[in-house]
Amino acid sequence: MSYKSVIFDMDGLLFDTEVVYYEASQLVADRMGFPYDKELYLTFLGVSDEEVGANYHQIFAEFGKNNVKKFIEETYEETIKRFSAGKVQLKPGVLELLDFLEEKQIPKVVASSNQRHIIELLLEKKQLSRYFDTIISAENVQRAKPDPEIFLLAHQYLGTQKHETLILEDSQNGILAASSAGIPVIMIPDLLLPSDDLKEKTVAVFSSLHEVPEFLKQ
């Protein structure tokens, strides 16, 4: 096996969180009368919370700063409520891949633009914490994806050569970050399919994590 360590994104890759984020956002937007839809949500896939918030303040400026702040806060509260209730599903193939990597004694880390306490909550709810050596989260970096900082930090922790390290990602920003870091990346698209240009930045594009173990056996 040519890869000696694996870096996992989280949202849309390990967990089917994107649908939860969208449903929570839509619920609060409808309640507050904000013009929100799935198309708008999709424009922020793989974007940091800070950047999403800044965009919301621009897009919904006519509703007033305080109302936009309330929208962001209530969406966050609704999301956490759903996470805490265990309403997030694992993406297909997660357990099989993690067990395969455990068997091969391959170190694994989570590198996510999300906040650490949310990452820990989701991992603990599905009993996945034991699989990962560490977590690199939003708190550890100054710049969000597509900046490569988070992947460079994860790579530094793992200590493997870049060509021996594999990143698993679902979003455009994640692929761009991996490419800028000079680390091989496989894309498992979640809500948006990649363009041809984006595909060229990957070593493979798979429909689910089920396909990754066979790829690694090559």
Residue 48 binned pLDDT confidence (cut-offs 50, 70, 90): confident
Catalytic positions, written as ranges: 9
Span 104-154, pLDDT tens digits: 999 999 999 999 999 999 999 999 999 999 999 999 999 999 999 999 999
On the CB side of 131, CA atoms within 13 Å amount to 24
Architecture of domain 5-16+89-217: 3-Layer(aba) Sandwich (3.40)
Contacting residues for 177 by C-beta, under 8 A, at least 6 apart:
145, 146, 147, 148, 150, 151, 169
Question: pTM to 2 decimals?
Answer: 0.92
Share of the chain above pLDDT 70, in %: 100
Report the mean per-residue pLDDT for the chain: 96
Q: Which residue, 168, 172, 154, 163, is CA-closest to 213?
A: 168
pLDDT at residue 106 in the model: 98
Residue 192 binned pLDDT confidence (cut-offs 50, 70, 90): confident
Is the model's pLDDT at 46 over the cut of 80? no
Residue reference for tokens 């009368």: 33
What tokens appear for 14 in the block? 């390990």
Residue 218 binned pLDDT confidence (cut-offs 50, 70, 90): confident
Q: CA-CA distance, 182 to 152, in Å (whole number)? A: 9
- Domain residue limits, the chain: 5-16+89-217, 17-84
Span 178-188, pLDDT tens digits: 999 999 999 99
